[in-house]
Structure 1
Amino acid sequence: MKSPNKLLFMFLMISSTCMVASSTNWLMTWMGLEINMLGYIPLMFSKEDSSESEAAVKYLVPQSLGSTIFIASAITSAHFNNLQILMLIAMCLKLGAAPLHLWFPPVMASLQLTPAFILLTWQKIAPLLAINSFNPLLMKSTMIIAMISALWGGIGGLNQTDIRSLLTYSSISHTGWMLASLSSNNMIFIAYLITYILINSSIYTFLTKEHTKSHKQLFFSKEPSKFFVLAITILSLGGLPPLTGFIMKLLVIMFTSAKTIIIFGLIVGALVSLYYLPILNLLNTTKIQQNTLTKTQMVSKQTIFFLLSQILPLTLILFFF
């Protein structure tokens, strides 16, 4: 596929997300979601092999089913208010939230890094914005789905050795936290989403340069500074204090209106994620050659800036409080 076509489909994705954010009725929201789906599917084809075609079909079927359920429930909800719960189920299916996430890991496993990164980050924005515009009475059901997603994302990543699978189940866990942030403040939701996108972008930038697939190959880099940056990024993604990921989760816990049992489930899911992500770092730390670590090398300014960006939010909070 040539570059102008990719730019056109990227424009469709961005404009459709803006359409969902600015829509005032369910028809415009549905149209934005459909354009978003149609703009992303051509971007899934990088090498144009059979695995990408299979991933496109696995992505198209649940997305079309979710769109059909959404528009049907939106039409009938004018007469039957109880059917609005189907709109939430449809959006959770498009979002890949547990327990409606069964299509998400197979699609991620068959994609290249760039479309996989778009699926993890940008494709979550439109369904989350649609859920944010629902009736506030549906937030109770949303919080239950948020707790299930956080727990399932943490447990599902325990026995995974593929990097993409680890990031997939971590994304399911973060989806639960994003749904929980919808019941607090819109600024917290936006800050959490931006932080999640930035952390994932740094990880995928490293994976693209190193061409790694298994976690055993993840930290075999000739530059120790790259290893430490990647290790801190993964720990920040898991929510280890005092990194940025922990600060965002702490803000969600402080300002969310969810019940205590929901918050407890979110914390347990985050703790399970913190079980296997640090172990992933420690196992690969011992495999780095000793002579590589003993060499004195200059740390780049980009590395120092990145490390400060991961720790700076904690210092700001301590300064104001």
Structure 2
Amino acid sequence: MKSPNKLLFVFLLASSTCLVASSSNWLTSWMGLEINMLGYIPLIFMKENSSESEAAVKYLIPQSLGSTIFISSAIISSHFNNLQILMIIAMCLKLGAAPFHFWFPPVMASLQLTPAFILLTWQKIAPILAINSFNPLLMKMTMPIAAISALWGGIGGINQTDIRSLLTYSSIAHTGWMLASITSNYSILITYLFTYILINISIYLILSKEDMKYYKQLFSSKEPTKIFILSITILSLGGLPPLVGFVMKLLVLMFTETKMIVIFGLIVGALMSLFYYLSLTFSTLLSFSKMSFSKSRMIQKQVMMFFLSQILPLSMTLFFF
């Protein structure tokens, strides 16, 4: 992203998301989603190779299809209320929620690290806020999709060895939790969404410096601090108590208004996701005790502050509840 015109597309991403968040009608939401899509596609081209062109096409087609279904169902629903469910399908297609996630893993596999993390994080905000603006009856119709996404994200990541594929299926699972948080308090939805984004940003900052592709490369790093922080962050993303990722899911379970079968699906999907995250980091954390930190006390302080930042939200939650 060295060329100055990339800043224009970053501005389009931010402004289009704000447009969707502040819209009061379906037409304005549709315009914001279209601008968001058109602002992201040029950011895909980091090295301008054939795989990025393929990823751009694979991203454009389902996003355009979702936008077409959304605006068509919004117009037709003024005469036929039963067709409003197509608006949910359109937004879940844009989110990459299961079972409408067919485009998501192939696109992630072809992207460079920076646009991949933009797709994992920022590109989820506008569709989630659009779904949150639906009436309560439509919101409850998304709950089966939430359970399916959590289960599919947990199942799909079990046999993955590529870090990007793990993050892709983790994103599908977290999309299910975001959809479940829509029926709860609005502040919980925003808290979950932005905490998920911050956890992914911390993973991105480490992966961008190390150029890691497979999980076995986690053990090859010569900096034990970086290994430990990445391991704790991944476990927090999986929802291991008492880390901040567990607090996010605990708040959703406490305040969501959905059926028990959906909650059961969310919990089982979270356990599956936590299983492959634990298998990913278990060897790393065991070998961590053999590493020497006697060279620098500052490293110890950094690790301790990071670990406390992951545990602090749980203590605050127990204090207030």
Shorter-chain TM-score: what band?
Answer: over 0.9
Number of residue pairs matched by the alignment: 319
Which residue is equivalent to 1:77?
Answer: 77
Counterpart amino acid of 2:49? Answer: D
Which residue is equivalent to 1:281?
Answer: 281
Q: Do the aligned partners of 2:17 and 2:36 also contact (CA within 8 Å) in 1?
A: yes
Q: Do the aligned partners of 1:219 and 1:285 also contact (CA within 8 Å) in 2?
A: no
Measured in 1, the distance between the counterparts of 2:153 and 2:243 equals 20
**Structural mapping, 1:288-307, within 5 Å:** 290=290, 293-297=291-295, 298=297, 299=299, 301-307=301-307
Q: CA deviation at 1:40?
A: 0.2
Q: Please report the RMSD computed on the Cα atoms of aligned residues, expressed in angstroms.
A: 1.4
Deviations 1:189-240 (A, max 9, x none): 0000111001000011100000110100023221212111111101000000
TM-aligned CA distance change 1:301 to 1:4, over 3 Å:
farther
Measured in 2, the distance between the counterparts of 1:272 and 1:289 equals 27
Counterpart amino acid of 1:63? Answer: Q
Q: CA deviation at 1:15?
A: 0.3
Measured in 2, the distance between the counterparts of 1:244 and 1:177 equals 15
Which residue is equivalent to 1:122?
Answer: 122
Which residue is equivalent to 2:236?
Answer: 236
Which residue is equivalent to 2:192?
Answer: 192
Deviations 1:60-102 (A, max 9, x none): 0000000000010011000000000000000000000000001
Which residue is equivalent to 1:10?
Answer: 10
Q: Do the aligned partners of 1:220 and 1:288 also contact (CA within 8 Å) in 2?
A: no
Q: Do the aligned partners of 1:146 and 1:180 also contact (CA within 8 Å) in 2?
A: yes
Q: CA deviation at 1:139?
A: 2.1
SS of alignment partner, residue 47 of structure 1: coil
SS of alignment partner, residue 184 of structure 1: coil
**Structural mapping, 1:174-253, within 5 Å:** 174-253=174-253
Q: Do the aligned partners of 1:163 and 1:213 also contact (CA within 8 Å) in 2?
A: yes
Gaps of 5+ in 1: none
SS of alignment partner, residue 154 of structure 2: helix
Measured in 2, the distance between the counterparts of 1:301 and 1:77 equals 58
Q: Do the aligned partners of 1:17 and 1:32 also contact (CA within 8 Å) in 2?
A: yes
Counterpart amino acid of 1:32? Answer: G
SS of alignment partner, residue 3 of structure 1: coil
Q: CA deviation at 1:283?
A: 3.3
Gaps of 5+ in 2: none
Q: CA deviation at 1:286?
A: 5.6
Q: CA deviation at 1:315?
A: 1.5
TM-aligned CA distance change 1:252 to 1:288, over 3 Å:
closer
Counterpart amino acid of 2:294? Answer: T
Measured in 1, the distance between the counterparts of 2:191 and 2:288 equals 35
Counterpart amino acid of 2:283? Answer: L
Q: CA deviation at 1:318?
A: 2.8
Deviations 1:241-294 (A, max 9, x none): 00000001000000000111100100000000111101111134466795xx13
Counterpart amino acid of 1:7? Answer: L
Deviations 1:103-150 (A, max 9, x none): 000000110110000000000000001100112111222011000000
Measured in 1, the distance between the counterparts of 2:47 and 2:286 equals 36
Over the matched positions of the two proteins, sequence identity in percent amounts to 75
Q: 238-247 vs 309-318, which deviates more?
A: 309-318
Q: TM-score, normalised by structure 1?
A: 0.96
Q: CA deviation at 1:317?
A: 2.3
